[in-house]
Amino acid sequence: MTENGIDRGSLLAMMTAFKSTYLLRAALELRVFDALAKGPADPDDVAAMLRTNPRATRGLLRGLASAGLIEADGEQFQLSGGAKELLVTTSPQYCGGIVRVAASDWEWDAMRDLADVVRHGGTRLETNAETPDFPYWVDFATHLTFATKPGAEFVADLVGPWAEGRETLDVLDVGAGHGLFGFALAARDERATVSTQDWPDVLEVAKGHAKRLGVDDRVDYLPGDAFEVELQREYDVIILGNFLFQFAASRCIDLTRKLVSALKPGGKVVIVGFMPVDGPPAADYHAHMLNLLMLAWTERGELHSPVMYRKILSSAGLANIEVREKPGLPLRVVSGELA
């Protein structure tokens, strides 16, 4: 969009944005950036390394150069600045895997019939985000997004000082996915134990993250549906990260009341995720786009505002409710305590 609204150029950019997505997806799948990591190469050399068709490889390389993802000097192609760090698989900063989450086939299948979704008011998919063992959640747990680690550290920053006054720090992470919200607390506090709840296939991925972070000896796992799983003990902290927006507010209230029954006296519930706030929608672009995905991907899910989360926590009997945010982080945190 332009300062003065829309024009033909901005409309064309929106209409063709998907082309950049499939270009990047193809290059990552073929490992084009890995092939160029050792230095400049021509299309025939790249095709030989990738075992791809030379003519088609030339077209792909030129497309990548036109998008600024690589650089071209005649028939010699090389990585653009930042590509070696972010798009080469052997780099510690590699983030190409996020394309499996940010541009997934599952999301495209849900969103391509958005008009029909709006007509009917909910998902049109038989297999969707609420289906047990929905395969997308394994990708979501595996490929950490740009907000995952900063969000987990932000939660740890908020809970850590509060936890210093507790005798114990038993944590329940509900709909945990990757599990990092609970694991970040365990990494900071040796007292912490974490119960990580999600579908069985997702928990297998979370186990790998726990081991990598060195907290696996203090983690147990609760496979199954968050609304049905039996909680066998009480917790100091219960975390709901990027989870409740899959459900209507009434279901969120029911689940929160169930969870609060397993909360120790003075314990805390922490809700973290994308939340639209009052103000121009353009200031919360990603939140509103995610809200559309929930519309297309669930029966009655939607992104709830901090005001709604306050009501959800209050209805479950929690007090001292706070809304916190951090500059530059798209996630917000709403927490409450049991008297």
Give the SS3 label for residue 323: strand
8-state DSSP, 131: S
- Do residues 52 and 201 both lie within one domain? no
**Among 58, 93, 128, which residue terminates a domain?**
93
Confidence bin at 2 (pLDDT 50/70/90):
low
Query: In Å, how far are 118, 147, 158, 276, 301 from 245, measured between CA atoms?
Result: 18, 17, 22, 11, 6
Structural contact between residues 206 and 180, judged by C-beta atoms closer than 8 angstroms: no
Domain for residue 105, yes or no? no
- Do residues 75 and 140 both lie within one domain? no
**CATH code: domain of residue 30:** 1.10.10.10
Domain for residue 82, yes or no? yes
- Do residues 78 and 154 both lie within one domain? no
- Do residues 221 and 170 both lie within one domain? yes
Strands 70-73 and 219-223, sheet pairing: unpaired
As a whole number, mean pLDDT of residues 285-305 equals 94
- Do residues 88 and 142 both lie within one domain? no
Domain for residue 122, yes or no? no
Structural contact between residues 255 and 315, judged by C-beta atoms closer than 8 angstroms: no
Domain for residue 98, yes or no? no
As a whole number, mean pLDDT of residues 73-101 equals 95
What kind and span of H or E run contains 325?
Answer: strand 318-325
Residue 4 has pLDDT above 90, yes or no: no
Confidence bin at 270 (pLDDT 50/70/90):
very high
As a whole number, mean pLDDT of residues 165-188 equals 96
Q: Which of 127, 238, 125, 237 is nearest to 175 (CA)?
A: 238
Pick the more confident residue, 153 or 339: 153
Domain for residue 116, yes or no? no
For residue 28, what pLDDT is reported? 97
User: CB burial class (10 A; 0-12, 13-18, 19+) of residue 131?
Assistant: middle
The backbone torsions φ and ψ at residue 45, rounded to the nearest 5 degrees and listed phi first, read: -65, -45
How much of the chain, in percent, has pLDDT values that exceed 90?
A: 92
- Do residues 78 and 221 both lie within one domain? no
Any residues with CB less than 8 A from the CB of 206 and at least 6 apart, and which? 141, 176, 177, 178, 179, 196, 198, 221
As a whole number, mean pLDDT of residues 55-72 equals 97
Alpha helices in the chain (DSSP H): 8-15, 17-30, 32-35, 43-50, 54-66, 83-86, 99-102, 105-111, 114-120, 136-142, 148-163, 180-188, 200-212, 249-260, 285-297, 306-315
Least confident of 68-77, 252-261, 282-291, 297-306: 282-291
Domain extent, residue 72, equals 8-93
- The overall average pLDDT reported for the chain is 95
Give the SS3 label for residue 239: strand
- Do residues 319 and 195 both lie within one domain? yes
- Do residues 144 and 291 both lie within one domain? yes
Residue 18 has pLDDT above 70, yes or no: yes
Strands 235-241 and 170-174, sheet pairing: parallel
- Do residues 300 and 166 both lie within one domain? yes
For residue 207, what pLDDT is reported? 98
For residue 1, what pLDDT is reported? 58
Q: What is the domain count for the chain?
A: 2
Residue 16 has pLDDT above 80, yes or no: yes
Strands 235-241 and 193-198, sheet pairing: unpaired
Give the SS3 label for residue 77: strand
- Do residues 38 and 167 both lie within one domain? no
Structural contact between residues 106 and 135, judged by C-beta atoms closer than 8 angstroms: yes
Q: Using CA of residue 325, residue 303, residue 237, residue 101, what is the dihedral sign?
A: negative
Structural contact between residues 121 and 50, judged by C-beta atoms closer than 8 angstroms: no
Residue 239 has pLDDT above 90, yes or no: yes
- Do residues 143 and 283 both lie within one domain? yes
**Among 40, 74, 93, which residue terminates a domain?**
93
For residue 126, what pLDDT is reported? 92
For residue 3, what pLDDT is reported? 66
Q: CA-CA distance, 113 to 108, in Å (whole number)? A: 9
- Do residues 212 and 66 both lie within one domain? no
For residue 175, what pLDDT is reported? 97
Pick the more confident residue, 284 or 294: 294
Domain for residue 113, yes or no? no
For residue 280, what pLDDT is reported? 86
**Among 37, 58, 93, which residue terminates a domain?**
93
Domain for residue 20, yes or no? yes
For residue 156, what pLDDT is reported? 97
**CATH code: domain of residue 246:** 3.40.50.150
pTM confidence score = 0.91
Residue 73 has pLDDT above 80, yes or no: yes
Residue 283 has pLDDT above 90, yes or no: no
DSSP 83-112: HHHHTSTTSTT--GGGHHHHT-HHHHHHHT
Q: Tell the residue number behind the tokens 């972070």, with chain if given.
A: 213
Q: What is the pLDDT of residues 132-161, one digit of tens each?
A: 989 999 999 999 999 999 999 999 999 999
Domain for residue 70, yes or no? yes
